[in-house]
Structure 1
Amino acid sequence: MTGKTHLMGGVAGTIILIHMNTYDPLLFISAGAIGALLPDICHSGSKIGRRFKGLSKLINKLFGHRTITHSLLFLILMNMLVAFLTTNEGIRVGILIGMVSHLLLDAATKNGIKLLYPLKLTIRFPLTIRTGDKGEAVVMALLSLLVLYYSKDVLIHYL
């Protein structure tokens, strides 16, 4: 999936769950958007990889693409790191939701993910799409519709 689809996935994941918590909506949704980009730190051409090129190249050299950063291990490590860096639960949960949305979206691609890294098992959904093709455009459209539909909850909070 492309960065914009991952970004929309993180926003959709948090905006759908906004009514189930008391977190600050803009902070929660922003954290979801950031979390949705984090797993691609292993790819220097990704949105986040271009911002942190040195780190991105190092992670890619050590682990490759869609391995450790697309795993349950990375989710756990990032949860621990974010909990150490902030006491704001909305940020921590938002980042995790964004990361989970990223993993789900990449599991829907032909290449899949190494969810159980360090095991070399590739996880993918039975029906997959190619990054950048019409299938991804449909996914992006559906995520956009979800965001539009559920954004009323955020607007109500601020009105």
Structure 2
Amino acid sequence: MTGKTHLMGGIATATVVATYTEYDPVLFIAAGAIGGLIPDICHGGSKIGRRFPLLSKIINSIFGHRTFTHSLLFIVVMRFVLTMFITNQSIIMGVLAGMVSHFVLDAMTKNGIKLFYPVNITVRFPVTTRTGGAVEHVVLLVLTIVTIYYGKDIISTPLF
């Protein structure tokens, strides 16, 4: 999937979860957007890879693409790292929710992901799509509609 779809996936996932939890919706959704992009740090051409090219190059040279940064192990590592520096659970859990959305979206592609890294098993949906294809545009549209549908409840709720 492309960066815009991952970004919207993180936002949509966080918006839905924020509707049913007590997390600060603004922080949770913003963190979800970031989390939706983080796993692609292993790809130099990604939105986040272009932002942090040296880190991206190092991670890619060690692990390759869609391996460690697309795994359950990475979720555990990120949870640990985030709790070392951030105390706000809305931010921590928002980032993790966005990362999970990224995994689901990439599992919809033909290449899939190494969800159980370092075990070399590729996880993908039975029916897959091509990155940047027409189906991805439909997925992006659905994610946008989901965000609007659930976001209306958040907007109507007083924040203070």
TM-score interval for Structure 1 and Structure 2 normalised by the shorter chain:
over 0.9
Instruction: Tell me the distance in 2 between the aligned counterparts of 1:103 and 1:135.
Output: 17
In structure 1, what is the equivalent of residue 156 of structure 2? 156
Kindly provide the amino acid, as one letter, of the partner of residue 14 in structure 1.
Answer: A
Instruction: Tell me the distance in 2 between the aligned counterparts of 1:42 and 1:67.
Output: 9
TM-score by length of 1: 0.97
Kindly provide the amino acid, as one letter, of the partner of residue 31 in structure 1.
Answer: A
In structure 1, what is the equivalent of residue 68 of structure 2? 68
- Does the Cα contact within 8 Å between 2:40 and 2:69 map onto a contact in 1? yes
Counterpart secondary structure, 2:117: coil
**What whole-Å deviation, never above 9, does each CA across 1:90-112 have from its counterpart, x for those lacking one?**
00110010000000000000000
In structure 1, what is the equivalent of residue 105 of structure 2? 105
- Does the Cα contact within 8 Å between 1:18 and 1:153 map onto a contact in 2? no
Where do 5+ consecutive residues of structure 1 fail to align? Answer: none
Counterpart secondary structure, 1:126: coil
Instruction: Tell me the distance in 2 between the aligned counterparts of 1:45 and 1:59.
Output: 13
- Alpha-carbon RMSD across the aligned residues, in angstroms, is 0.9
Q: How does 1:101-140 map to 2 (within 5 A)?
A: 101-140=101-140
In structure 2, what is the equivalent of residue 45 of structure 1? 45
Shift of 1:158: 4.0
Kindly provide the amino acid, as one letter, of the partner of residue 89 in structure 2.
Answer: E
TM-score by length of 2: 0.97
Shift of 1:17: 1.3
Instruction: Tell me the distance in 2 between the aligned counterparts of 1:146 and 1:20.
Output: 14
Where do 5+ consecutive residues of structure 2 fail to align? Answer: none
- Does the Cα contact within 8 Å between 2:75 and 2:99 map onto a contact in 1? yes
Instruction: Tell me the distance in 2 between the aligned counterparts of 1:69 and 1:147.
Output: 25
Kindly provide the amino acid, as one letter, of the partner of residue 72 in structure 2.
Answer: L
In structure 2, what is the equivalent of residue 31 of structure 1? 31
Kindly provide the amino acid, as one letter, of the partner of residue 107 in structure 1.
Answer: A
**What whole-Å deviation, never above 9, does each CA across 1:40-97 have from its counterpart, x for those lacking one?**
0000110000011000000000110000000000000001111111110000110010
Percentage of identical aligned residues: 58
Q: Runs (4+) of structure 1 moved beyond 6 Å?
A: none
Kindly provide the amino acid, as one letter, of the partner of residue 151 in structure 1.
Answer: G
Counterpart secondary structure, 1:101: helix
Shift of 1:157: 2.3
The count of residues paired between Structure 1 and Structure 2 equals 159
